Amino acid sequence: MAPDSDASDEHRRAARQGLAVSLATSAYGISFGALSVAAGLDVWQTCVLSLLMFTGGSQYAFVGVIAAGGVAAAPAAIASSALLGVRNAAYAIRMGPIIGPRVWQRVAAAQFTIDESTAVALAQSEPRARRVGFWVTGIGIYVGWNLSTLAGALLGDVLGDPRQYGLDAAAAAAFLALLWPRLRGRQALAVGAAAAVVATVLTPALMPGLPVIIAAAVAVVVGWFNWLGGAPQAEPDDVPERGGLP
């Protein structure tokens, strides 16, 4: 097979992977929309949150804290969601050479630099296929996530209390799915256990959102000093392990 044909095949494969990931990930938006309305946001506020924030983990954290503490917990909700969004900055550094050097390219790519678009891009071996995977995945999830957010918000507004359908557990289940593949090795297990204990102990005593921030600080300290982590090793240029949220 000619080299051009091989490249075309890889580009098409990257596009197919991006579309498949987009469809699977977008489904989470339904539960987010329903939970957001149940937390007190209206349909338009919920949709704007998805349009502008567009990082599922941070969005779940935001509405979860608001649901527990109301408007008074807004600062803690913002801080919690911002902490979870920091990882996207690290992805942007990794994706910079792939997206290209032009300022307009990087500005356009900023909104679509999420877990899934990074994962699909890095799964490809050819530079253009990486770009195809990134853009197809990022744009596909952005469109699908916002449409499903609207559907979930409308559905939640009609159905009422999401606890009747188990949607109140959707955020916790989504976070567990995100976390579980990463719990490999002594350090990851120690960080997870310590953060869970800290959050559980502090939740009854502190404003909603603050236990999450303090638990994140515990994780940062453990990672900074590399406790139980062993000697640093070079990581392969491979797909980030994902659990399914943008």
Following DSSP, what letter does each residue of 69-96 receive, concatenated? H-GGGHHHHHHHHHHHHHHHHHHHHHHH
150 neighbors 30 (Cβ within 8 angstroms): no
Q: For residue 245, what pLDDT band results from cuts at 50, 70 and 90?
A: low
User: For 217-226, which contacts have Cβ atoms below 8 Å and span 24 or more sequence positions?
Assistant: 218/191, 218/194, 219/191, 219/194, 219/195, 222/187, 222/190, 222/191, 222/194, 223/187, 223/191, 226/187
What is the residue-averaged pLDDT of the chain?
A: 77
Q: What is the pLDDT of residue 6?
A: 64
Residue 178 confidence (pLDDT): 52
236 pLDDT tier (thresholds 50, 70, 90): very low
Task: Give the contacts of 164 (CB within 8 A, at least 6 positions apart).
Answer: none
| Of 80-89, 97-106, 158-167, minimum mean pLDDT range | 158-167
Q: What is the per-residue pLDDT for 235?
A: 45
pLDDT tens, residue by residue, 6-48: 668 888 999 999 999 899 888 888 888 988 888 888 899 999 9
Segment 196-233, tens digit of pLDDT? 787 778 777 776 666 767 777 777 676 666 665 555 44
Q: What is the pLDDT of residues 40-88, one digit of tens each?
A: 888 999 999 999 999 887 888 788 777 777 666 777 778 778 777 777 8
Can you give the pLDDT at residue 171? 54
pLDDT at 234: 47
Q: Domain map of the chain by residue range?
A: 3-170, 183-231
- Tell me, rounded to whole angstroms, the distance of Cα 228 from its chain centroid: 26
Structure confidence by residue, pLDDT tens digits, 118-147: 989 988 888 899 999 999 999 999 999 999
Tokens 């490249």, residue located: 7
233-242 mean pLDDT: 47
